Amino acid sequence: MNTFLIPDWPAPAGIRACVTTRAGGVSLAPFDSFNLGDHVDDDPVAVAHNRQRLTHVFDVQPAWLSQVHGVVVAPATPGQIIEADASWTATPGIACTVMTADCLPALFCDRAGTRVAAAHAGWRGLAAGVLEATAQSLNVEPQDILVWLGPAIGPKAFEVGAEVRDVFMRDLPQSAAAFVPSVNPGRFMADIYELARLRLARCGITAVYGGGFCTVTDSRFYSYRRSPRTGRFASLVWIETSS
């Protein structure tokens, strides 16, 4: 299994986070090979094997979600598949986990290292406020929250219609900075990372890191836009258990 630990997120001691890549598992093409999504028509046995390996390598209990592009934030509960797009926990050894393949994964922690959260934000969830809801679930002051934005579709690949731009503009006019006209008339190239930063800043969160990826062009990651029949990688954050 190939993963990378997050290098540019100054999380406090005791907080760990990682993102899986598509290498090192047992799933066959087109899900090759470390697919963690159980809803993409991959072999359930292969998915279960990959998930078990993830649990074993990091010695954590991932809390998997049934993601629906909404704003529900649930307590991270391993062993239960909860319909939500974000989770939080203050319990060591439980990993808040989201799966993506172009949507934005966002990992949260407080500066004291006592709470963590993870959110899945496609453009609909982002516009509806899933990041703000996730921040609120930590129940700490905004200036005490650190956020890391994981691999998502990049601004040179994310073409949207004017209706998407209008949704963000109606709620936050500053969102105009995240859209540039496409070469295709009436369409725009959207920067999902900038949209996330703007929304977090509005609620007082400015310690935001990451955001330098593009899942469409980076073959380490699954991308629905690159190949609609594909797997899902995971972004996880957890509090380490005391030794």
49-68 confidence digits (pLDDT tens): 999 999 999 999 999 999 99
pLDDT at 17: 94
pLDDT at 92: 97
pLDDT at 146: 97
pLDDT at 243: 53
pLDDT at 1: 66
- In angstroms, the CA 210 to CA 1 distance is 22
- In angstroms, the CA 130 to CA 132 distance is 5
- DSSP one-letter code for 105: E
Ordered by start, the domain boundaries in the chain are 3-153+204-237
CB-count burial class (<10 Å; 0-12, 13-18, 19+) for 113: middle
Which amino acid belongs to residue 149? L
Choosing among 3.30.420.40, 3.40.50.800, 1.10.300.10, 3.60.140.10, the CATH entry for 3-153+204-237 is 3.60.140.10
Looking up tokens 């093409």 gives 29
Residues of the chain short of pLDDT 70, as ranges, are 1-2, 4-5, 7, 243
Looking up tokens 């900038």 gives 194
Looking up tokens 């159980």 gives 38
Token couple for 40? 């993409």
62-112 confidence digits (pLDDT tens): 999 999 999 999 999 998 889 999 999 999 999 999 999 999 999 999 999
pLDDT at 9: 85
